[in-house]
């Protein structure tokens, strides 16, 4: 067993994303604060987002529709056309926001591509994610890109099978315990968690749910190349012991 493929989450692993949503939340509240208290606006927007995930999926477009729906409901239809237009403009600003790479990302990818097949495995709106990958300047480092509607054990398993990747040869790197680490651990593959300083509530996982999952935690992606020899020998040893 030898590491062959390293897959990376995109948002908040390779580039900034959640901070854009946080900023937009504040601008949304500023538009509607004359109608409702900020805490109520934030709470109702989050509830609407979660309710709409099965319809709109992840990404800016669904988030924008959820902002409009929240605004109409909380103002009891009194929101003005100009205010709706301002909310739509918030969504457009998010879609055209510059892609800001996180520290050490490009240097790390340049080093790793010499020895491993690199992939992006992300979720969200297809067009939005494709354009961000293109605008990031990182596309040439990756041999494959997978944009999923959801990340769970079943979708990862199908993805690995579709790409003829063995679980024992695979490493997933991401910032979300729920989407990038937990399902990979349940498959028996290796995972590296690189926490981002802020996390969407929907991606939170209680500590007890992670007790059965083994994974490495790094402070930043630049630590990954030096940690790889320590991550995979344990898996190789498990295979050797199983053969005895």
Cα dihedral sign, 163-110-171-180: negative
Residue after which a domain boundary falls, among 79, 95, 111 = 95
40: containing domain: 18-95
Are 87 and 119 members of one domain? no
pLDDT per residue of the chain (244 residues) written in tens, 0 to 9: 589 999 999 999 999 998 999 999 999 999 999 999 999 999 999 999 999 988 898 889 999 999 999 999 999 999 999 999 999 999 999 999 999 999 999 999 999 999 999 999 999 888 999 999 999 999 999 999 999 988 999 999 999 999 999 999 999 999 999 889 999 989 999 999 999 867 655 566 766 666 578 889 999 999 999 999 888 774 444 443 344 3
Are 11 and 29 members of one domain? no
Tokens (6 digits) for 152: 């769970």
d(CA 7, CA 20): 24
Are 121 and 186 members of one domain? yes
Residue 51 pairs with which residues in a beta bridge? none
State how many domains the chain has: 2
Residue after which a domain boundary falls, among 95, 121, 153 = 95
Mean pLDDT over each residue of the chain, to the nearest integer: 89
CATH classification at residue 78: 1.10.150.240
CA-wise closest residue to 149 among 128, 126, 127:
126
Are 90 and 195 members of one domain? no
Are 119 and 225 members of one domain? yes
Are 81 and 116 members of one domain? no
**Long-range own/partner contacts, residues 197-201 (CB < 8 A, 24 or more apart):** 198/18, 198/19, 198/22, 199/12, 199/18, 199/175, 200/18, 200/21, 201/46
Are 22 and 42 members of one domain? yes
Burial 189-209 (b: 16+ CB within 10 A, else e): bbbbbbebeebbeebeeeeee
Are 84 and 110 members of one domain? no
Q: What is the largest CA-CA distance in the chain?
A: 73
Residue after which a domain boundary falls, among 47, 80, 95 = 95
Whether the Cβ atoms of residue 120 and residue 133 lie closer than 8 Å to each other: yes
132-141 pLDDT per residue, tens: 999 999 999 9
Whether the Cβ atoms of residue 120 and residue 11 lie closer than 8 Å to each other: no
Are 152 and 214 members of one domain? yes
183-228 pLDDT per residue, tens: 998 999 999 999 986 765 556 676 666 657 888 999 999 999 999 9
Are 166 and 125 members of one domain? yes
């Amino acid at each position: 067993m030898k590491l062959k493929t390293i897959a990376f989450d995109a948002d908040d692993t390779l580039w900034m994303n959640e901070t854009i949503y946080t900023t937009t939340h504040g601008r949304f509240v500023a538009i509607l604060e004359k109608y409702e208290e900020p805490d109520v606006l934030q709470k109702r927007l989050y509830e609407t987002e979660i309710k709409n995930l099965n319809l709109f999926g992840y990404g800016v477009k669904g988030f924008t529709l959820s902002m409009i729906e929240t605004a109409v409901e909380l103002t009891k239809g009194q929101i003005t056309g100009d205010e709706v237009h301002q909310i739509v403009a918030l969504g457009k600003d998010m879609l055209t926001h510059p892609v800001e790479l996180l520290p050490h990302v490009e240097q790390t990818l340049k080093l790793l591509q010499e020895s491993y097949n690199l992939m992006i495995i992300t979720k969200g709106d297809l067009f939005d994610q494709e354009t961000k990958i293109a605008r990031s300047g990182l596309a040439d480092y990756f041999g494959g890109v997978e944009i999923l509607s959801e990340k769970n054990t079943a979708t990862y398993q199908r993805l690995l099978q579709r790409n003829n990747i063995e679980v024992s040869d695979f490493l997933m790197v991401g910032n979300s315990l729920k989407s990038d680490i937990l399902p990979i651990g349940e498959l028996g593959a290796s995972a590296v968690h690189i926490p981002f300083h802020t996390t969407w509530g929907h991606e939170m996982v209680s500590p007890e749910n992670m007790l059965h999952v083994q994974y490495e935690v790094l402070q930043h992606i630049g630590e990954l190349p030096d940690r790889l020899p320590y991550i995979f020998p344990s898996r190789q040893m498990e295979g050797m012991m199983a053969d005895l």
